[in-house]
Amino acid sequence: MRVVNPEQLKSILANLPSNPRIIASGNFSAPRTLLKIADEVIPEFRLHMLNAHGDIPDREGIRFETAFVGPAMRNHERLDYIPSRLSLLPVLIRNFYRPDVVFLHTSQQRFDTVSLGTEVNILPRSIETARAHGGVVIAQSNKQMPYTYGDAQIYDSEIDYLVEVDEPLQEKPSVPITDIQAQIGSRIASLIEDNSTLQLGIGGVPDAVLMALKERKGLRIWTEMFSDGVLELSRAGTLDEEILITASFIFGTNELYQWLDLNKKVRMLRTERTNDPSQIARQAKMTSINSALEVDLFDQANASHVRGEIYSGFGGSTDFIVGALHSRGGQSFVALPSWHPKADVSTIVPRLQSNVTHFQHSFVVTEQGVAACFGHSQNDQAINIIHKAAHPSVREELVAKAAEFGLL
224 assigned to active site: yes
Q: What is the DSSP string of 306-366?
A: ETTEESS--TTHHHHHHHHHHSTT-EEEEE--SEETTTTEESEESS-SS---EE--SEEEE
Task: In whole angstroms, give the CA distance from residue 56 to residue 48.
Answer: 11
Q: What is the mean pLDDT of the chain?
A: 97
Q: Is the pLDDT of residue 202 over 80?
A: no
Instruction: Say yes or no: 92 and 120 in one domain.
Output: yes
Q: What is the model's pLDDT at position 263?
A: 98
Q: What is the model's pLDDT at position 361?
A: 98
Domain boundary pick from 96, 131, 165? 165
Instruction: Say yes or no: 201 and 125 in one domain.
Output: no
The residue range of the domain holding 350 is: 179-224+275-404
Mean pLDDT in residue range 181-202: 94
CA dihedral sign, ordered 259, 150, 139, 156 = positive
Would 286 be classed as within a structural domain?
A: yes
Least confident of 76-80, 228-232, 258-262: 228-232
Would 281 be classed as within a structural domain?
A: yes
**Total Cβ atoms within 10 A of residue 265:** 14
Q: How confident is the model at residue 200 (pLDDT cuts 50, 70, 90)?
A: confident
Mean pLDDT in residue range 355-382: 97
Q: How confident is the model at residue 7 (pLDDT cuts 50, 70, 90)?
A: very high
Q: Is the pLDDT of residue 201 over 90?
A: no
Catalytic residue chosen out of the listed positions 224, 272, 294, 367: 224
Residue 156 per-residue DSSP state:
G
Q: Is the pLDDT of residue 174 over 90?
A: no
Would 238 be classed as within a structural domain?
A: no
DSSP collapsed to 3 states, 3-64: ECCHHHHHHHHHCCCCCCEEEECCCCCCCHHHHHHHHHHCCCEEEECCCCCCCCCCCCCEEE
Instruction: Say yes or no: 146 and 208 in one domain.
Output: no
Least confident of 120-129, 207-216, 355-364: 207-216
CB proximity list for 268: less than 8 A, separation 6 or greater: 116, 120, 148, 149, 150, 151, 152, 247, 248, 249, 250
Would 241 be classed as within a structural domain?
A: no
Instruction: Say yes or no: 212 and 337 in one domain.
Output: yes
Would 94 be classed as within a structural domain?
A: yes
Instruction: Say yes or no: 328 and 360 in one domain.
Output: yes
Would 72 be classed as within a structural domain?
A: yes
Q: Is the pLDDT of residue 111 over 80?
A: yes
Instruction: Say yes or no: 28 and 73 in one domain.
Output: yes
Instruction: Say yes or no: 300 and 378 in one domain.
Output: yes
Would 260 be classed as within a structural domain?
A: no
Q: Is the pLDDT of residue 335 over 80?
A: yes
Cα 339 to Cα 29, 227, 308, distances in angstroms: 34, 26, 19
Instruction: Say yes or no: 57 and 190 in one domain.
Output: no
Q: In terms of pLDDT, which residue wins out, 207 or 117?
A: 117
Domain boundary pick from 165, 190, 211? 165
What's the CATH number where 186 sits? 3.40.1080.20
Cα 399 to Cα 228, 253, 395, 402, distances in angstroms: 41, 45, 6, 5
Total tally of structural domains belonging to the chain: 2
Mean pLDDT in residue range 3-13: 97
Mean pLDDT in residue range 50-77: 97
What are residue 333's phi and psi, to 5 degrees?
-110, 135
Q: Is the pLDDT of residue 110 over 90?
A: yes
CA dihedral sign, ordered 152, 155, 161, 162 = positive
Q: What is the model's pLDDT at position 262?
A: 98
For the question of whether the overall pTM of this predicted structure is more than 0.85, the answer is yes
Would 252 be classed as within a structural domain?
A: no
Instruction: Say yes or no: 298 and 341 in one domain.
Output: yes
Q: What is the model's pLDDT at position 173?
A: 86
What's the CATH number where 117 sits? 3.40.1080.10
Instruction: Say yes or no: 73 and 193 in one domain.
Output: no
Q: Is the pLDDT of residue 203 over 90?
A: no
Q: What is the model's pLDDT at position 91?
A: 98
Instruction: Say yes or no: 145 and 195 in one domain.
Output: no
Q: Is the pLDDT of residue 106 over 90?
A: yes
Instruction: Give per-residue pLDDT as tens, 291-327.
Output: 999 999 999 999 999 999 999 999 999 999 999 999 9
Instruction: Give per-residue pLDDT as tens, 114-130.
Output: 999 999 999 999 999 99
Instruction: Say yes or no: 130 and 29 in one domain.
Output: yes
Q: What is the model's pLDDT at position 181?
A: 96
Q: What is the model's pLDDT at position 33?
A: 97
Q: Is the pLDDT of residue 107 over 90?
A: yes
Q: What is the model's pLDDT at position 233?
A: 95
